[in-house]
Amino acid sequence: MQPLVSIIIPAFNAERTIAEAIQSAIGQTWPRKEIIVVDDGSTDRTAEIVESFAPAVRFLATRNRGLSAAVNLAIQHCQGDYVQELDADDLLTLDKIERQLSALRAGDSKRILLSSPWASFYYRTRNARFVNNALCQDLSPVEWLLRKMGGNLHMQNATWLVSRELVQDAGPWDTRLNYDQDGEYFARVLSASDGTRFVPGTGVFYRDSGPGSISYIGNSNPKKESLLLSMQLHIKYLLRLEDSERVRRACITYLQNWYENFYPERNDLAAQAQKIAAELGGSLDEPRLRWKFAWLKPLFGWGTAKWAQMTLPSMKASLLRVIDKTIYTLENSPN
């Protein structure tokens, strides 16, 4: 019998995007699937929209406890041999699960972790381009984490298709985290795996929602604290797999790449990051400003230069998002 795949969708105030996400799950060409949506205490029309998809979708409602708790609840109730997590504003390509399961070979263990490409979009997926970086290949757990952390690379969370065995071994999502909770979780999944199987030609559309997204850190102190905790855990998992000079260098680079999120506003977190780097045999430098903004530092100070470096690209992206939404609305209007 073909394996059952559980597609789990945590949702919070997702009335604008949840229908598209569910449709991409229902439309999967893999026939044996169950779809579970957990409404994490939404105050908008999310629940009403999800319930309109019954009986194709199983709906669970809970008080607002955060993304990790919502995912954990869905995992507790799902029955699948494989688990596909999907955020409520992202989309699966329709053959994603079928292609990934078809890539398994006779004799493969259930600890093979399946991945795929991903592409960023605003509202229209037509012009989205799939990312192709050094993570887009079959890799051992050590090599995957080494490349991610040392190269500042990213694999969107819905690219993964995870066996029930790996889900059980990795344990629940960490409810202490409200930023990079998916990164920390899949670092544990990777650590428990026999390596990745990368499946090209299909994947995930990742919606760039801007400042309203859970993945946008901005000036949020809780998110900065969550980020540092997630980074500490990433380093622990990788060192547990291989404590070597190359791993320690990659971990220091990892800390350096994200150091600007703490410096100089959160000197306490910056000091913690420096301490971790020292324990790894290194140190962290003052974050570098890109050349477009570095000239502001001697005139207006580090804080202003950093603000410009963070804010101006975000403003540009917001304008592009508005333009794309306008075109999307016109293309989908009944007239």
**DSSP secondary structure string for all residues of 145-164:** HHHHHHHT----GGG-BEEH
Tell me the CATH number at 35: 3.90.550.10
Residue 79 has pLDDT above 90, yes or no: yes
Put residue 107 in one of left, alpha, beta given phi > 0 → left and psi -120 to 50 → alpha. left
ω into residue 313 within 30 of 0, thus cis?
no
> Does 94 reside within a domain?
yes
Whether the CB-CB separation of 123 and 206 falls below 8 Å is answered with: no
> Of 192, 212, 232, which closes a domain?
212
- What radius of gyration, in Å, describes the C-alpha atoms of the chain? 20
Q: What's the gap between Cα 263 and its chain centre?
A: 24
Global pTM? 0.93
Q: Are residues 158 and 301 in the same domain?
A: no
Tens-place pLDDT, residues 163-187: 999 999 999 999 999 999 999 999 9
Residue 6 has pLDDT above 90, yes or no: yes
Q: Are residues 54 and 163 in the same domain?
A: yes
Q: Are residues 204 and 319 in the same domain?
A: no
Residue 313 has pLDDT above 80, yes or no: no
Please count the other Cβ atoms lying within 10 Å of the Cβ belonging to residue 144: 27
Tens-place pLDDT, residues 223-257: 999 999 999 999 999 999 999 999 999 999 999 99
Q: Are residues 306 and 191 in the same domain?
A: no
Q: Are residues 34 and 140 in the same domain?
A: yes
> Does 141 reside within a domain?
yes
Q: Are residues 202 and 311 in the same domain?
A: no
> Does 266 reside within a domain?
no
Q: Which two tokens stand for residue 47?
A: 């629940």
Q: Are residues 98 and 188 in the same domain?
A: yes
> Residue 335's pLDDT band (boundaries 50, 70, 90)?
low
What is the span of the domain harbouring residue 330? 294-335
- Helical segments of the chain, H only: 18-26, 46-51, 67-77, 96-102, 141-151, 164-170, 181-192, 221-241, 245-258, 267-279, 291-294, 296-300, 302-331
Q: Are residues 199 and 309 in the same domain?
A: no
Please count the other Cβ atoms lying within 10 Å of the Cβ belonging to residue 333: 7
Q: Distance between CA 303 and CA 173 in Å, rounded?
A: 35
> Of 183, 212, 241, which closes a domain?
212
At residue 174, the pLDDT reads 96
> Does 217 reside within a domain?
no
Q: Are residues 99 and 195 in the same domain?
A: yes
ω into residue 200 within 30 of 0, thus cis?
no
Tens-place pLDDT, residues 96-141: 999 999 999 888 899 999 999 999 998 889 888 998 899 999 999 9
> Does 135 reside within a domain?
yes
Place of tokens 């993964």: 160
> Of 196, 212, 228, which closes a domain?
212
Q: Are residues 205 and 305 in the same domain?
A: no
Task: Tally the domains of the chain.
Answer: 2
Residue 307 has pLDDT above 80, yes or no: no
> Does 253 reside within a domain?
no
State what percent of residues in the chain have pLDDT above 70. 96
Evaluate the CA torsion angle 291, 295, 298, 302 in order and state its sign.
negative
> Does 15 reside within a domain?
yes
Q: Distance between CA 100 and CA 143 in Å, rounded?
A: 21
Q: Are residues 301 and 198 in the same domain?
A: no
Mapped onto helix, strand or coil, the DSSP state of residue 36 is: strand
Mapped onto helix, strand or coil, the DSSP state of residue 88 is: coil
Q: Are residues 16 and 155 in the same domain?
A: yes
Q: Which two tokens stand for residue 56?
A: 């194709």
Residue 331 has pLDDT above 80, yes or no: no
> Does 286 reside within a domain?
no
**Between the CA of residue 190 and those of 167, 249, 290, what are the distances in Å?**
10, 20, 33
Q: Name the β-bridge partners of 52.
A: none
Q: How many helices (H) and strands (E) does the chain have?
A: 13, 10
At residue 215, the pLDDT reads 64
Q: Distance between CA 135 and CA 113 in Å, rounded?
A: 13
Q: What's the gap between Cα 189 and its chain centre?
A: 13
> Residue 274's pLDDT band (boundaries 50, 70, 90)?
very high
